[in-house]
Amino acid sequence: MARLLYIPSATLFFFLSFTAVLFTVACAAEEEAHGFLQSQRAVKKPVREKLSHLRFYWHDVISGPSPSAVRVAEAASSNASTTAFGVVVMMDDPVTLGPELTSRLVGRAQGFYAFASKEESALLMAMNFAFVEGKYNGSTIAVLGRNAVFSGVREMPVVGGSGLFRLARGYAQARTYSFDTNTGDTVVEYNLFVTHY
């Protein structure tokens, strides 16, 4: 006659718990290989950060047969507003080395600005400076911030970048170089102070 093997309940509980933990760990390892977390290895940081100062001119051309900035949206009340509140303008503005539009092209300012204040002429600027010149060709710097256009110097944050400006942070200073009251065309001097790797 067969004898039944007696296993104390504490031992059985330990055995089952241990088996469940091993099964859970094995499943988690299988999921991790296909999940969001790809690696826990520390990424080696570059040797040092650099601080770059870039100076160029931004040309916002809204007149003529081929404007670089066009109005794409507005509120019903925007035309009656003294500050154009609610107007959104999409831009692909040339960025040049000097203040003349015929100066050497170093990039494009691509993005939009929106008239975001009911009390003064202040814009929400969201743009990428996409460079096409020299070692910065293909790199970008992203700016997002408030631009009170009638202030002498406006400061906006640099919030990122790509290419040689990966992990960029810093600030942009904008100064109006010229404004044509007849056409609305504007030239702005930009100075960017950017920390990057």
Residue-by-residue pLDDT tens, the chain, 197 positions: 555 555 566 665 666 666 665 666 565 555 445 455 556 666 666 568 899 999 999 999 999 999 999 999 988 888 888 898 999 999 999 999 999 999 999 999 999 999 999 999 999 999 999 999 999 999 999 999 999 999 999 999 999 999 999 999 999 999 999 999 999 999 999 999 999 98
Distance CA 131, CA 96 (A): 10
Q: What is the pLDDT of residue 178?
A: 97
The CATH number of 51-196, from 2.40.480.10, 1.20.1090.10, 3.30.465.10, 3.40.50.300, is: 2.40.480.10
Domain boundaries, the chain: 51-196
Q: Which pTM was predicted?
A: 0.76
Q: Give residue for tokens 């990428």.
A: 128
Among residues 154, 151, 153, 156, the alpha carbon closest in space to that of 141 is found at 156
Per-residue pLDDT, 29: 53
CA 55 – CA 189 distance, rounded (Å): 7
- Distance CA(47)–CA(69), nearest Å, equals 40
Quote the tokens at residue 42: 């520390």
Quote the pLDDT of residue 49: 87
- pLDDT score for 117: 92
pLDDT at 22: 61
pLDDT of residue 197: 83
Q: Give me the pLDDT at residue 67, please.
A: 97
